[in-house]
Protein backbone atom coordinates (compact mmCIF):
# COMPACT_ATOMS: atom_id res chain seq x y z
CA UNK A 1 0.00 0.00 0.00
CA UNK A 2 2.87 2.34 0.88
CA UNK A 3 4.57 1.86 -2.48
CA UNK A 4 1.31 2.08 -4.43
CA UNK A 5 0.53 5.44 -2.79
CA UNK A 6 4.07 6.59 -3.54
CA UNK A 7 3.68 5.51 -7.17
CA UNK A 8 0.47 7.57 -7.47
CA UNK A 9 2.47 10.63 -6.39
CA UNK A 10 5.08 9.99 -9.09
CA UNK A 11 2.43 9.24 -11.71
CA UNK A 12 0.60 12.48 -10.86
CA UNK A 13 3.83 14.47 -11.23
CA UNK A 14 4.41 12.98 -14.70
CA UNK A 15 0.64 13.13 -15.49
CA UNK A 16 0.58 9.43 -16.40
CA UNK A 17 -3.13 8.68 -16.07
CA UNK A 18 -2.88 5.00 -16.97
CA UNK A 19 -0.42 4.48 -14.14
CA UNK A 20 -2.63 6.41 -11.71
CA UNK A 21 -5.67 4.30 -12.66
CA UNK A 22 -3.70 1.08 -12.31
CA UNK A 23 -2.30 2.09 -8.92
CA UNK A 24 -5.80 2.99 -7.59
CA UNK A 25 -7.12 -0.34 -8.81
CA UNK A 26 -4.30 -2.21 -7.08
CA UNK A 27 -4.83 -0.14 -3.92
CA UNK A 28 -8.53 -1.10 -3.96
CA UNK A 29 -7.53 -4.78 -4.19
CA UNK A 30 -4.97 -4.38 -1.38
CA UNK A 31 -7.45 -2.63 0.94
CA UNK A 32 -10.14 -5.22 0.11
CA UNK A 33 -7.74 -8.00 1.09
CA UNK A 34 -6.98 -6.17 4.34
CA UNK A 35 -10.76 -5.85 4.84
CA UNK A 36 -10.56 -2.04 4.83
CA UNK A 37 -13.59 -1.81 2.55
CA UNK A 38 -14.13 1.98 2.84
CA UNK A 39 -10.66 2.69 1.42
CA UNK A 40 -11.14 -0.11 -1.13
CA UNK A 41 -14.37 1.53 -2.31
CA UNK A 42 -12.74 4.98 -2.55
CA UNK A 43 -9.83 3.68 -4.67
CA UNK A 44 -11.96 1.44 -6.87
CA UNK A 45 -14.30 4.42 -7.61
CA UNK A 46 -11.26 6.58 -8.45
CA UNK A 47 -9.99 3.82 -10.73
CA UNK A 48 -13.35 3.79 -12.55
CA UNK A 49 -13.40 7.61 -12.87
CA UNK A 50 -9.90 7.73 -14.33
CA UNK A 51 -10.61 4.79 -16.65
CA UNK A 52 -13.65 6.68 -17.98
CA UNK A 53 -11.45 9.66 -18.89
CA UNK A 54 -9.00 7.33 -20.67
CA UNK A 55 -11.83 5.85 -22.77
CA UNK A 56 -10.12 2.44 -22.74
CA UNK A 57 -12.61 -0.46 -22.64
CA UNK A 58 -10.09 -2.92 -21.24
CA UNK A 59 -9.22 -0.59 -18.35
CA UNK A 60 -12.90 0.11 -17.74
CA UNK A 61 -13.59 -3.63 -17.61
CA UNK A 62 -10.79 -4.15 -15.04
CA UNK A 63 -11.83 -1.11 -12.97
CA UNK A 64 -15.49 -2.21 -12.83
CA UNK A 65 -14.40 -5.76 -12.02
CA UNK A 66 -12.46 -4.44 -9.03
CA UNK A 67 -15.50 -2.39 -7.99
CA UNK A 68 -17.66 -5.53 -8.24
CA UNK A 69 -15.27 -7.41 -5.93
CA UNK A 70 -15.26 -4.55 -3.39
CA UNK A 71 -19.08 -4.32 -3.47
CA UNK A 72 -19.36 -8.09 -2.98
CA UNK A 73 -16.98 -7.97 -0.04
CA UNK A 74 -19.03 -5.11 1.42
CA UNK A 75 -22.23 -7.13 1.05
CA UNK A 76 -23.64 -4.56 -1.37
CA UNK A 77 -24.84 -7.16 -3.87
CA UNK A 78 -27.24 -4.94 -5.78
CA UNK A 79 -24.45 -2.45 -6.49
CA UNK A 80 -22.12 -5.38 -7.33
CA UNK A 81 -24.66 -6.79 -9.80
CA UNK A 82 -25.14 -3.43 -11.53
CA UNK A 83 -21.38 -2.94 -11.82
CA UNK A 84 -20.99 -6.52 -13.06
CA UNK A 85 -23.43 -5.80 -15.91
CA UNK A 86 -21.37 -2.74 -16.85
CA UNK A 87 -18.12 -4.74 -16.60
CA UNK A 88 -19.57 -7.46 -18.84
CA UNK A 89 -20.54 -4.84 -21.42
CA UNK A 90 -16.94 -3.60 -21.50
CA UNK A 91 -15.65 -7.17 -21.51
CA UNK A 92 -17.83 -7.94 -24.52
CA UNK A 93 -16.57 -4.89 -26.40
CA UNK A 94 -12.98 -5.74 -25.39
CA UNK A 95 -13.45 -9.31 -26.58
CA UNK A 96 -15.02 -8.03 -29.77
CA UNK A 97 -11.99 -5.82 -30.41
CA UNK A 98 -9.67 -8.73 -29.60
CA UNK A 99 -11.62 -11.00 -31.92
CA UNK A 100 -11.49 -8.43 -34.69
CA UNK A 101 -7.74 -8.08 -34.09
CA UNK A 102 -7.35 -11.85 -34.18
CA UNK A 103 -9.38 -12.08 -37.37
CA UNK A 104 -7.32 -9.30 -38.94
CA UNK A 105 -4.13 -11.04 -37.83
CA UNK A 106 -5.25 -14.36 -39.31
CA UNK A 107 -6.34 -12.61 -42.50
CA UNK A 108 -2.96 -10.89 -42.72
CA UNK A 109 -1.15 -14.20 -42.21
CA UNK A 110 -3.36 -15.83 -44.84
CA UNK A 111 -2.73 -13.02 -47.31
CA UNK A 112 0.99 -13.19 -46.56
CA UNK A 113 1.11 -16.93 -47.17
CA UNK A 114 -0.97 -16.48 -50.31
CA UNK A 115 1.33 -13.73 -51.60
CA UNK A 116 4.42 -15.79 -50.75
CA UNK A 117 2.93 -18.71 -52.70
CA UNK A 118 2.24 -16.39 -55.63
CA UNK A 119 5.78 -15.05 -55.39
CA UNK A 120 7.07 -18.64 -55.39
CA UNK A 121 5.02 -19.48 -58.48
CA UNK A 122 6.18 -16.31 -60.20
CA UNK A 123 9.77 -17.15 -59.22
CA UNK A 124 9.43 -20.60 -60.78
CA UNK A 125 7.89 -19.09 -63.92
CA UNK A 126 10.74 -16.60 -64.03
CA UNK A 127 13.30 -19.41 -63.71
CA UNK A 128 11.55 -21.36 -66.48
CA UNK A 129 11.52 -18.28 -68.71
CA UNK A 130 15.20 -17.69 -67.96
CA UNK A 131 15.99 -21.30 -68.91
CA UNK A 132 13.99 -20.89 -72.12
CA UNK A 133 15.84 -17.67 -72.85
CA UNK A 134 19.21 -19.38 -72.32
CA UNK A 135 18.17 -22.29 -74.55
CA UNK A 136 16.98 -19.83 -77.17
CA UNK A 137 20.24 -17.91 -76.92
CA UNK A 138 22.26 -21.14 -77.17
CA UNK A 139 20.17 -22.19 -80.19
CA UNK A 140 20.74 -18.79 -81.77
CA UNK A 141 24.49 -19.05 -81.20
CA UNK A 142 24.51 -22.56 -82.71
CA UNK A 143 22.44 -21.38 -85.67
CA UNK A 144 24.79 -18.44 -86.23
CA UNK A 145 27.75 -20.83 -85.97
CA UNK A 146 26.12 -23.17 -88.48
CA UNK A 147 25.36 -20.29 -90.85
CA UNK A 148 28.96 -19.06 -90.45
CA UNK A 149 30.28 -22.56 -91.24
CA UNK A 150 28.05 -22.77 -94.32
CA UNK A 151 29.22 -19.32 -95.47
CA UNK A 152 32.86 -20.28 -94.93
CA UNK A 153 32.33 -23.57 -96.77
CA UNK A 154 30.59 -21.70 -99.61
CA UNK A 155 33.52 -19.28 -99.89
CA UNK A 156 35.92 -22.20 -99.99
CA UNK A 157 33.90 -23.89 -102.75
CA UNK A 158 33.85 -20.67 -104.81
CA UNK A 159 37.61 -20.33 -104.41
CA UNK A 160 38.04 -23.97 -105.47
CA UNK A 161 35.76 -23.40 -108.48
CA UNK A 162 37.86 -20.39 -109.55
CA UNK A 163 41.00 -22.47 -109.22
CA UNK A 164 39.47 -25.33 -111.20
CA UNK A 165 38.28 -22.92 -113.91
CA UNK A 166 41.72 -21.31 -114.09
CA UNK A 167 43.35 -24.74 -114.32
CA UNK A 168 40.78 -25.80 -116.96
CA UNK A 169 41.60 -22.70 -119.03
CA UNK A 170 45.29 -23.39 -118.63
CA UNK A 171 44.74 -27.04 -119.60
CA UNK A 172 42.80 -25.99 -122.74
CA UNK A 173 45.62 -23.67 -123.68
CA UNK A 174 48.14 -26.47 -123.16
CA UNK A 175 46.04 -28.89 -125.17
CA UNK A 176 45.88 -26.37 -128.04
CA UNK A 177 49.63 -25.93 -127.78
CA UNK A 178 50.14 -29.69 -127.73
CA UNK A 179 47.87 -30.21 -130.73
CA UNK A 180 49.66 -27.45 -132.58
CA UNK A 181 53.07 -29.09 -131.88
CA UNK A 182 51.77 -32.54 -132.80
CA UNK A 183 50.45 -31.02 -136.01
CA UNK A 184 53.82 -29.38 -136.69
CA UNK A 185 55.65 -32.61 -135.89
CA UNK A 186 53.35 -34.56 -138.24
CA UNK A 187 53.90 -31.92 -140.93
CA UNK A 188 57.67 -32.28 -140.51
CA UNK A 189 57.44 -36.07 -140.56
CA UNK A 190 55.22 -36.04 -143.63
CA UNK A 191 57.45 -33.46 -145.35
Q: What is the DSSP string of 12-41?
A: HHTT-HHHHHHHHHHHHHHHHHTT-HHHHH
pLDDT digits (tens, 9 = 90+) for 91-150: 766 666 667 677 788 888 989 999 999 999 999 999 999 999 999 999 999 999 999 999
pLDDT digits (tens, 9 = 90+) for 14-31: 999 999 999 999 999 999
Backbone angles phi, psi at 51, to 5 degrees: -60, -35
The number of beta carbons lying within 10 Å of the beta carbon of residue 84 is 19
Backbone angles phi, psi at 16, to 5 degrees: -100, 90
How confident is the model over 5-15, as a mean pLDDT? 91
* Contact between 34 and 18 (Cβ < 8 Å): no
Count CA atoms within 13 Å of residue 139 on its CB side: 6
Interacting residues of 21 by C-beta distance below 8 A, sequence separation 6+: 47, 50, 51, 54, 59, 63
Amino acid sequence: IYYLKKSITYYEISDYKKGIEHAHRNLADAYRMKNNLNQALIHSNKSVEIAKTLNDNHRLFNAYNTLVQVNEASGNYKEAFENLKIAKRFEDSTLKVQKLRSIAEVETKYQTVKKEAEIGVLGEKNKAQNRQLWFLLAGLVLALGFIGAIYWQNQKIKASEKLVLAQADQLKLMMKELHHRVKNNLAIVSG
